[in-house]
Amino acid sequence: TTTTTTTSLLPSPPSPTTPPLMCAAEEKQHILWPATPAGLAAVVSCPVGVALRTCCGPGVTQPGCPTARHGQWLTVDMNNCTDPAAEETLEQLANSTTWLTSQPSTALELLANVSSSVAMTPAMLSTVVNMTEHVLSIGVNASSSSSNSGLTAAMRKSAATVTNAILQQGNGNNNGNNNNNN
């Protein structure tokens, strides 16, 4: 007689009394991520392309996904997700340095609106950071001259909104720093 032994390379299914590990549904970077089984990635459509987010679990070999993190979200991958309207707005602002210089308060308000209302790719984040730095330097330089009041309360508020949006979205692009409590 011949005996055959079969070994599965897949993780054993959970027992009927143990619910499978899941990453909870949540909104992150202006995207509603569905509940996703551990070890799989959620794929969400963007205006153009897709965004990805992996739920840490068996079979995931990404950094930041040890066994202790199974059932927790990893980072949001926005590299293939774009919003043409937001990109066009940022491009127009970036190509309009005269306008940025002459209307810094309005420029910061637009940057705040764009950065806090759409999911941004790393390239878009970089553009927002550079433009915000440029506009703020104009305000700081103006405050040192006696003819201009420099940074107004509205400019400071818009800069804070931009900064918070950049930090929130930037944290979504740092590997291993997110969990399902964020």
The distance of Cα 149 from the centroid of its chain, to the nearest Å, equals 34
- 3-state per-residue secondary structure call for the chain: CCCCCCCCCCCCCCCCCCCCCEECCEEECCEEECCEECCCEEEEECCEEEEEEEECCCCCCCCCCCHHHCCCEEEEECCCEECHHHHHHHHHHHCCHHHHHHCHHHHHHHHHHHHHHCCCCHHHHHHHHHHHHHHHHHHHHHHHCCCCCCCCHHHHHHHHHHHHHHHHHHHCCCCCCCCCCC
Q: What number is the average pLDDT over the span 25-37?
A: 89
Choose among 26, 28, 23: nearest CA to 119.
28
Instruction: Identify which of 66-75, 115-124, 133-142, 162-171 has the greatest average pLDDT.
Output: 66-75
| Mean pLDDT for the chain overall | 74
* Angle ∠(48,53,55) on CA atoms, nearest 5: 160
pLDDT digit string (tens) for 49-96?
888 999 998 877 777 787 778 889 988 888 888 778 888 888 887 787
Nearest-angstrom CA–CA distance, 98 and 84: 23
pLDDT above 80 for 40:
yes
* Angle ∠(148,152,158) on CA atoms, nearest 5: 140
Instruction: Identify which of 75-79, 97-101, 103-107, 157-161 has the greatest average pLDDT.
Output: 75-79
> Residue type at 136?
L
Task: State phi, psi for 63 to the nearest 5 degrees.
Answer: -60, 150
